[in-house]
Chain A
């Protein structure tokens, strides 16, 4: 595996010397789903085989459960999630006026808990937080990703793009060097794919569990041996924003299954 890695990295470095990174044209974009083996696709396609649906079910019961000092359920404010949460995951991360910066779906759940339920926030990557996010995201399944066009968000998307393009870490790689320039190749045995987050939170077979987009991003940052960010860091949210803008127009698959 190490040998493959070295060959791949050198190939990237040579390629980068001759051609500058370019984003993937809209017509060539492919969901991570299309890179998977038919067996793995079958797990995602069948709602009674997709383990992500277990989190969705948990999220559905949490939606109706009272929490915090306010003793309110999510449904008390948002009523029927199948109506009120439709399309929400397709436009997140969104701009929060009070904080003056973008927040992702998980952060929104925790903000709602703090502001309206007066409850303590769920821990990052906890089962409850992933369950509620998965339940909300599932309401947008099949809808086209439609990033928020708010002008206030634009500088954050630009920062996310800058991060994506920037070389960093001991391997001196930018996200773009793999996901724009080499998405049709393999890194060791795995497809590189195009960095289009269409199905988060995902059930990842490698994790044996559900995980957020930030968990995936942190994996990649560790992979290039760069300084990592904490969950919820503004840099990760900006990167999420940029990635969702790359995937604009593609259908939401949440909860997706990935190898």
Chain B
């Protein structure tokens, strides 16, 4: 039951600097831990996050085992035109989630 929480302002003035906040549900298992029986718990993390603004990539991040569970990523961009933000998370074991949000720019 993966789910994402996205916070993008619904409206902005052209040229405004806006903050985008994303939270993705994921355990981010480091691969460095062991069970009580001594077996390694296999790594299971998100490895990549991208954000596209009307198709154009505006933000990308690579994620590593030291990043906390349920990664919260926030960044800024300039509101240039009305449209859509597409978010994508890719990770181990074929993990792939997408989400989107719209903005209207005046």
Contacts and interface: CB of A to CB of B under 8 A. Distances in A.
Interface of A: 43, 46-49, 51, 53-54, 57-58, 61, 127, 131, 205, 208-209
B6 A51 contact: no
B5 A48 contact: yes
Given A48-B21, A49-B23, A57 B3 contact: yes
Interface residues of B, number: 14
Contacts of B1: 58, 61, 127, 131
B40 interface: no
Interface in B61-75: 68-70, 72
Contacts of B5: 47-49, 53-54, 57
B3 A51 contact: no
Given A47-B5, A48-B5, A54 B69 contact: no
Interface in B1-59: 1, 3, 5-7, 21, 23, 25, 27-28
Contact of B69 (A47, A48, A208): A208
A208 B3 contact: no
A48 B6 contact: yes
A205 B21 CA distance: 19
Contacts of B25: 51, 54, 58
B60 to A, nearest CB: 21
16 contacts: A46-B7, A46-B21, A48-B5, A49-B7, A49-B21, A49-B72, A51-B25, A51-B70, A51-B72, A53-B23, A54-B70, A58-B3, A127-B1, A208-B68, A208-B69, A208-B70
A49 B72 CA distance: 7
Nearest to B8: A48
A205 B28 CA distance: 13
Contacts of B28: 208
